[in-house]
Structures are given as structure tokens and as C-alpha cells.
Structure 1
Amino acid sequence: MDPIKIKFGTDGWRAIIAQEYTVDNVKRVAEGTALWLKQQGDTARVVIGYDCRFGGKLFSETTARVLGKHGITSLLAPAFISTPMVSLGVVKAKADLGVVITASHNPPDYNGYKLKSRLGGPSIPDDVSAVEALIPDAVPTDLPELDALREQGLIEEHDFEQIYLDHVKTNFDLDLIRNADFGIAYDAMYGSGQSAMVKLLPKAHHLHCAYNPSFLGTAPEPIARNLQQLSDVIKADPKLSLGIANDGDADRIGLYDENGEFVDSHHILLLLLMYQYEYKGIKNGEVILTFSVTDKLKQLAEQYGLPYEVTKIGFKYIAEIMAERDVIVGGEESGGLAVSGHIPERDGIWIGLMIAEYMAKSGKTLNELIQQVYDKVGSFNCDRDDVHVDNDRKWEIVKQAKENPFKKIGPYTVTDVKHVDGTKFYLDGEDRWLMVRPSGTEPVLRVYAQGSDAAEVRKILDAGRAEMGI
């Protein structure tokens, strides 16, 4: 049987465990990684981490054995760690690359393989493509055993979680957060943020902070439909005013206000920019947002006199800019957010602590802080439908949106159309819009909308889907 062609997607290679994600295929990907590293120089050090999924330790050790065969040193953590801990570990250990065995927020039957650059963020697309091109069809054989690699100094153990915790302690007023007059609920979603957050916020109400690779059958994606228990806990306890959730590898965040209502990434990005600029006094730098993020972020950046840039969707595009320029806030609609003063990496724990610190310093609830945002840019709501359509129909709709865009969507007149990564239709001005973008990996069409409130957003989504016949 011919070997499968391994392709890296928006954020690494992901596949179903025991189907395409096998020990042999991980060996092949690790071989491509080793060959690429050898092209960069004679010696290399690689931080390898894994999250709470099935086989994480096995797959990370398999990677270390392949790298070790090439004389490359692997720096391993004693247990599961988050993706940002790997990224920070690369920087702190002055390593050449990071490898994370994770499928992030995908369902429990998936695992994956992410690459992290020496700068502490996702490897740039050109480097990822170069590794992918070097993945052999043949499975590497005659791999050295772990004990032999340890004896040769080609495997080192580093406590990357503790390194991360020390970094947090120097950058946050943890005493202020821990002793604030509001309670925090934290949902790890059985992911790799659990250990660190129990240590950082010992008095918080902790949910799903246990090792359970099945995630109880729920994809560890921190979106409202997966976090009903967190919402219910906050609604039932008036002392709890902030809910934080992280995905499987803890690089994304979900947030809840004091009423147990979900706060999306669009609002979090605005809060982060306001906190950084008004409270922390960071007045220089850029604001970077992916195409699906609310235009209100551009509006706030303009009020502060800050330059901004809109990128394609995928955090790697933000990270590439952060590696070269000063960025105050960068983020995407799907929960991946980053700020200055940290690595160029999305980090769900870090962002959660920033919001908690903002509340503690300001003495305001999350809703009061959001109202301050609305006072500056106006109130708004955003949502997204993921519509399953067959691939031919998906690309047909995408082509039509680009080449023959709608003039009207339901009762709304299209006043402007923009194409960056998908198509965005502005409706009767700039404050409401509909956006269409294909999934690159699934027969799914992503339909986004912004309106004045949840009811209007639903009206726009329904009108858009009716126009497209989906």
C-alpha cells in the first residue's frame, strides 16, 4: 500500500489516531523535521512537548528517537504541557525548534504535530512547507533507544511548566488577582492547562482539571456550546464573576462574564487593546487582526492613533508579523490571541490572566469593561455558522462570492465588498457585515456575521444562507 501524503494544514498536521496518525507516520514527519534541521546546521536542540491526548508520551518519545538518530538533542518535559509552554521553552532554552504533539481543539480521536520557531511562535509557512517537502515515503528504521540517547546527552529533561510559571510570576500581579473581590471559575476541558492553572489560581472553582484523554467525548474547543457547565456554575454562584476556559493545548481561550454569558474573541481583543493602551501605558506598536475579526478593532486602533493590518486567517500570519515588528495586540476570531510583552504566540492562560488582572486593577466587572469599549466604538455582536456542504458546492459558492458578489442580502444592500481570505459583504454601511470563507480541510463553509445585537446577527446569517441556498 502506498504511504499517505502528509500535509500540514493551517496549524500543523492533524489526523485520526490509529488511522493516519500512527507511530510509523510520526516517524516519517520527525524524519522530515530532522532533515530540515540538518540543512540549517550541524547541531540542533529541539523542545518536544505533548498534551493530554492518547499516546502523547509515546509519540513525543518516538520523535525524540528519530531526531536522536541524526544527532539532534531533544529537550523533554516530565509530563504533559501546553503549546505556549513549548514555545516559551524554545526561547528560554535557546533551542532551534519546538515540536508539540497535539491536535489542539479537535475531537478526542485526533492527534497532531505542530512546529514552533526559535522566536517562540508558530514556524513561518515557508519553513513548514520545507519540512513537509522532506517527509520521506519510507518509515525510518534502526532507531536508538531512549536510554542510549540519554547516556549520549541527546535527551535532556526540562521542567517547562515551571519555567512558564516563573515567567508568569514576573509579569503579573498574582497577589492582586488571587485576592480580588471576585471569584474565578476555570474550565481546563481536560486539556494541558489544568496543572498550571490549579497552581496559579488555587482558590478558583476548577472544572475538568483531570487527565482524561477522551475529553468525555467532547472536542476541547472553548466555545459556548461546549462550556454549558462552566456557564451554569457561574450563574449558580454570585461570588463567581469571571469564567476562563482553555482548549486541549491551552493556546486558545473562552471567556464568561459575571452573568454566565459567553464573551467572544472580538470583545476580548478590544478589551486587551484598551488595557494595554490605557492601563499599561503601551502606546507604540501595531494592531494585527485576521480578516474575520470585527472591524471595531480597527476603529479603536484609529482612535488611539495606532497602525493596524488585516491578515489572512491563521495565527501563523500574525506570528510572522510579531517576529519582526512591535505588536500591541494580535488575534483571530477563533480564540487565538497574543499581546506584547510575551512570546509571539497565542496563549489562553496568559490572556485569561490579563483579563483577570484588568478587572482587579480597574475594580470593574467584565460587563462594565465591555460597556467602556461600547462607549468608544458602539455596541455590536458577532457569530458564525459552520455549514456542512459537499465540496463542489462549497467551492461554487466561494467562486460566486468572489467573481459575482451579491448586490443585496435579504433586506440589506451590499455597500462594499472585500476579498482577503474569503469574501466580506458590508451591509448598509460598515457596522454590519456577512462573510463567507471555505474550510481548507473539511466540506464546510464558514459564514460569519456582525450586527448590532444577537437578533440582528441571526437575521443576517439566515439571510446570507438563504441567498446562497445553504
Structure 2
Amino acid sequence: MGRLFGTDGVRGVANADLTAELALGLSVAAAHVLAEAGSFEGHRPVAVVGRDPRASGEFLEAAVVAGLASAGVDVLLVGVLPTPAVAFLTAELGADLGVMLSASHNAMPDNGVKFLARGGHKLDDELEERIEAVYEEHRTGAPWDRPTGGGVGRVRSYDEGFERYVTHLVGVLPNRLDGLKVVLDEAHGAASLVSPEAFTRAGAEIVTIGAEPDGLNINDGCGSTHLGKLQAAVLEHGADLGIAHDGDADRCLAVDHTGAEVDGDQIMAVLALAMRERGVLRADTVVATVMSNLGFKLAMEREGLSLIQAAVGDRYVLEEMKEHGYALGGEQSGHVIISDHATTGDGTLTGLLLAARVAQTGRTLRDLASVMVRLPQVLVNVPDVDRTRVGSSAELAAAVAEAERELGATGRVLLRPSGTEPLVRVMVEAADIDQARSVAGRLADVVKSALG
């Protein structure tokens, strides 16, 4: 069996790659690993389970709940809420584990299962490997240790989750948003109710788009992967800024009052200076990934801040932050982690804090984001290739070395296999956009020929 877990849980086409049987089996395995079901004296393990609005989430939720309860875990169903809300509630309620059903920014046919450990933290590689090992052991014939009678888990709805999470979001803001007009694009996803409520309570005047989920329209031409509608709405309504989430609202991208995109690097730059000003940017350090724009690194150096770059994936950013106690980290894609208030990327919290900085300073988002200048960066996704051979292909290594010689000190090359899709990402930065496009195109051709 190949590795089931990608960079963010187990993901695939619902009812094809990700079946009810797989979701049930993984949930039983996760219960044995994360909740140590059956080993507690006088303690009944508890799990918090949430989902985004995808139609497939309904049957997958049923499968997950069946698996957990059959393993002796009590289940609190919080319904449609963002991933960071499930993480928050897992910690807040002292639950043994959390489960979120979502494929994040992927199109509707996909879905995913994300497990969270105690405290609402994403799993490290060792925990994922243990869950897979337990799942595979029992899939191939070893019987489950099944409780009976009063030992089976009980299931109930936890409707208070929405209110507790919104109260938390508004309560951590350093200042109110009165006087701001904000357009919110909810991607017809998990934050369709939470985000407008939080921004309204914080004092903002809001215009909401992409907030009518029907189970089929999540991420469909809207949200953080399709900013066109948000840009148009910001201009149409004369808003101060726009905020876009993805399907499970663990990321946030923004649009300034002119309709220009403000990406995750720029958002982190703005928040880093705000947090330093408030004295909460520990060690004056930000954690990003190797995908962050070189302009972000240069901006942090100019401002006297340190930048640590982790592997791609917000959980690797989180690991670095947890190990050293850093307060801010994230990805160019908009996963931003403020560790004093969240255990994972939280798109609604990020958007609120960004708007709070605009309100507090009286400056436009465009002006605030100008602290960094993005260098030309070209990203090409090469699909239908053997992503496992990126690091072993001599032909590809030679092509990368030649590209690096051409770019010299003014640019860089990064090849990265996707953790969730069968493709390789080719990223090239250069001082000149035409050169970046040319080098990226040549490397993409080599990836196809060498790994296709």
C-alpha cells in the first residue's frame, strides 16, 4: 500500500479514492493511536468532528463517526465549520482528537480527512505512519479490538461550537474595525457563516460574496483560488479591502482598495510589523517556507527581522514555530499561523488582524503591503508525471544546475513534488519576468520528458 497521507491529511476523489470504507477504517485506526481507545481507566475518549459543505462530506462524516464510536470514542459533531474552528474546539474542549472533512482549495469532487491530535495540532509524520500501520494491519486481517455494550462511543451535536469560535476570534483583536468596508469571499465554503459574523461583530461594514454553499459549488470560480470576483466587488462597492478564503478557511488572501492582490507573503510582512510594534513577535522572527518570494526575505532583512524558511506545508512551519516558540509563520498561499491564538492556519483570524492593522494605522492596505516588493516569480504545474523521481533524475538535476548558472545570484529555482496531487511544481524567480518564464518553461519541458 502506498502512503495514504499527503501534506494535509488523506485526500482524493470522494467515493472513488476516498471511500466510506477507507474513512471508517482510518478513523478506527486514528482512535487507537490518538485516543488510545480502551486503555483509559475511567476516561472515555472524545473526538470533535467537523466538515466543509461538500455533498460528499455528509456520507464521509457518517463513516468517520461510525468508526470513532465503534472504537469507543464519544463524538461531538460541530457541523459545517472551518478547519481552524475544529482545531480550536479540540483544544478548548480538551478532546483527545479532532477530525475535519475537507479537501481545502480542491474542486468539489475531492474530499479529505484531516486528523488533529490533542490540543488541536496537526499530526507529525510519526503519528501518521502509526495510523497507517494500524489501518493496514487490520485491513489485511487482524481483528479490531471492539468494545460492546456501554463501551461503544456516544454521538451528539455540539451546536455551541459556532458561538465559542466566533467569540474567540473577535476577542483576540487588538482593536475594532469600525469605519472599514470589507468584501468577504467565502468560496461557498466552511466559513460562509462564521467569517461574516466575526467581521460584523468586530465593527466592519461587510459585503459578502460566495457565501451560499449548496454542497456542489465550493471553490467554484470564487475564493482564494479565483480572486477575480473579489477584485471586481471591491472596486464596485468602493471597499477598503477584500478578504478571500478557501473551502475550509484555513487560508486567507487579500485585495487592496485598487483591486490588486495581496498574497500570503505580503500579509505576513504587514502582520510582522504590527506584532513587533505590540511586542508580541517573539525573537523578532517569522517562519515561512522555501516558496516565499525573495522579496519577502529582503523586506524582513531591511526591517531588522529574522526569517526562517521551512519545507513546504503549513505543518512544517508549525513544527518550527512550536520547537522555538515563534509567534508568526505561514505560506505565500495564505496559510498564516498566529500561534498565540491558533494551532493551525486560520483564514478568518488572519483577515481580521489584517483589517485591524488597516483600521489602527489609518493607512491603506496597498500602502501597508508596500513594505515588500515581490520579485517576478513563475510557477508551472507539470501534471501526470512520476513525482517520486524528482530527486533522483540525473537529467532533471543537470537541467536545474544549468538554470541556476544562468540565473546566478539574481534568482533561484525550486522543484517540488505536490503532496496532494500527481504533479510537480516548477518555481523560478528572477529579476526579469521574461527570463523567469523562459527558464520555467524549459524546466517544465524537462520534467515532462524525464518523469513522464
Task: Determine if the TM-score, normalized by the shorter chain, exceeds 0.5.
Answer: yes
Distance in 2 (alpha carbons) for counterparts of 1:253 and 1:216: 16
User: Residues 330 and 458 (structure 1 numbering): CA distance in 2 closer, same or farther, change over 3 Å?
Assistant: farther
Match of 2:24 in 1: 27
Residue by residue over 1:164-211, the C-alpha shift from the partner in whole angstroms, topping out at 9 and shown as x without a partner, is 11111211156x31x22x421110010011101221234311001112
What amino acid maps onto 2:402 in structure 1?
A: K
User: Residues 290 and 95 (structure 1 numbering): CA distance in 2 closer, same or farther, change over 3 Å?
Assistant: same
Match of 2:309 in 1: 310
The Cα of 1:250 is off from its aligned counterpart by 0.4
Are residues 1:439 and 2:418 paired?
yes
Match of 1:9 in 2: 6
Are residues 1:184 and 2:182 paired?
yes
Match of 1:133 in 2: 133
Match of 1:194 in 2: 192
Contact 1:251 1:346 survives alignment (8 Å): yes
Contact 1:323 1:344 survives alignment (8 Å): no
Distance in 2 (alpha carbons) for counterparts of 1:440 and 1:343: 23
User: Residues 457 and 399 (structure 1 numbering): CA distance in 2 closer, same or farther, change over 3 Å?
Assistant: farther
Match of 2:249 in 1: 250
What amino acid maps onto 1:46 in structure 2?
A: A
Q: 286-295 or 104-113: which moved more?
A: 286-295
Match of 2:124 in 1: 124
Are residues 1:465 and 2:437 paired?
no
Residue by residue over 1:129-174, the C-alpha shift from the partner in whole angstroms, topping out at 9 and shown as x without a partner, is 11111113269999999xx989975546252221111111211156
**Count of matched residue positions in the alignment of Structure 1 and Structure 2:** 435
Distance in 1 (alpha carbons) for counterparts of 2:150 and 2:356: 44
Structure 2 length as normaliser, TM-score? Answer: 0.86
User: Residues 307 and 211 (structure 1 numbering): CA distance in 2 closer, same or farther, change over 3 Å?
Assistant: same
Match of 1:98 in 2: 98
The Cα of 1:27 is off from its aligned counterpart by 1.0
What amino acid maps onto 2:115 in structure 1?
A: L
Are residues 1:429 and 2:439 paired?
no
Distance in 1 (alpha carbons) for counterparts of 2:346 and 2:393: 32
Distance in 2 (alpha carbons) for counterparts of 1:149 and 1:343: 35
Contact 1:193 1:250 survives alignment (8 Å): yes
Contact 1:101 1:114 survives alignment (8 Å): yes
Q: SS of the counterpart of 1:194?
A: coil
Distance in 2 (alpha carbons) for counterparts of 1:463 and 1:152: 56
Q: SS of the counterpart of 1:461?
A: helix
Match of 1:420 in 2: none
Match of 1:391 in 2: 386
Are residues 1:284 and 2:283 paired?
yes
Distance in 2 (alpha carbons) for counterparts of 1:244 and 1:350: 11
Are residues 1:355 and 2:357 paired?
no
Distance in 2 (alpha carbons) for counterparts of 1:190 and 1:108: 11
Match of 1:64 in 2: 65
Match of 1:205 in 2: 207
User: Residues 54 and 278 (structure 1 numbering): CA distance in 2 closer, same or farther, change over 3 Å?
Assistant: same
Q: 161-170 or 433-442: which moved more?
A: 433-442
Contact 2:8 2:420 survives alignment (8 Å): no
Structure 1 length as normaliser, TM-score? Answer: 0.83
Match of 2:166 in 1: 165
Distance in 2 (alpha carbons) for counterparts of 1:244 and 1:450: 26
User: Residues 216 and 169 (structure 1 numbering): CA distance in 2 closer, same or farther, change over 3 Å?
Assistant: closer
Distance in 2 (alpha carbons) for counterparts of 1:26 and 1:393: 25
The 5-angstrom pairing of residues 221-370 of structure 1 reads 222-223=224-225, 226-237=226-237, 239-279=238-278, 282-284=281-283, 286-303=285-302, 305-370=304-369
Among the aligned pairs, what percent are the same residue? 24
Match of 1:46 in 2: 47
Q: SS of the counterpart of 1:129?
A: helix
Match of 1:421 in 2: none
What amino acid maps onto 1:64 in structure 2?
A: V
Contact 2:280 2:327 survives alignment (8 Å): no
Which stretches of structure 1, 4 residues or longer, exceed 6 Å deviation after superposition? Answer: 138-145, 148-152
Distance in 1 (alpha carbons) for counterparts of 2:15 and 2:280: 50
Q: SS of the counterpart of 1:249?
A: coil
Match of 1:418 in 2: none
Contact 1:191 1:220 survives alignment (8 Å): no
What amino acid maps onto 1:111 in structure 2?
A: N
Distance in 2 (alpha carbons) for counterparts of 1:25 and 1:143: 18
Contact 1:188 1:246 survives alignment (8 Å): yes
The Cα of 1:393 is off from its aligned counterpart by 11
Q: 26-35 or 347-356: which moved more?
A: 26-35
Contact 2:71 2:146 survives alignment (8 Å): no
Q: SS of the counterpart of 2:240?
A: strand
What amino acid maps onto 1:460 in structure 2?
A: A
The Cα of 1:449 is off from its aligned counterpart by 3.0
Q: SS of the counterpart of 2:99?
A: strand
Q: 310-319 or 440-449: which moved more?
A: 440-449
RMSD: 3.2
Distance in 1 (alpha carbons) for counterparts of 2:423 and 2:266: 25
The Cα of 1:362 is off from its aligned counterpart by 0.8
- Could you list the runs of 5+ residues in structure 1 that have no partner in the other structure? 415-426
Contact 2:74 2:153 survives alignment (8 Å): no
The Cα of 1:402 is off from its aligned counterpart by 4.0
Residue by residue over 1:272-295, the C-alpha shift from the partner in whole angstroms, topping out at 9 and shown as x without a partner, is 212211355535353211111123
Distance in 2 (alpha carbons) for counterparts of 1:338 and 1:242: 21
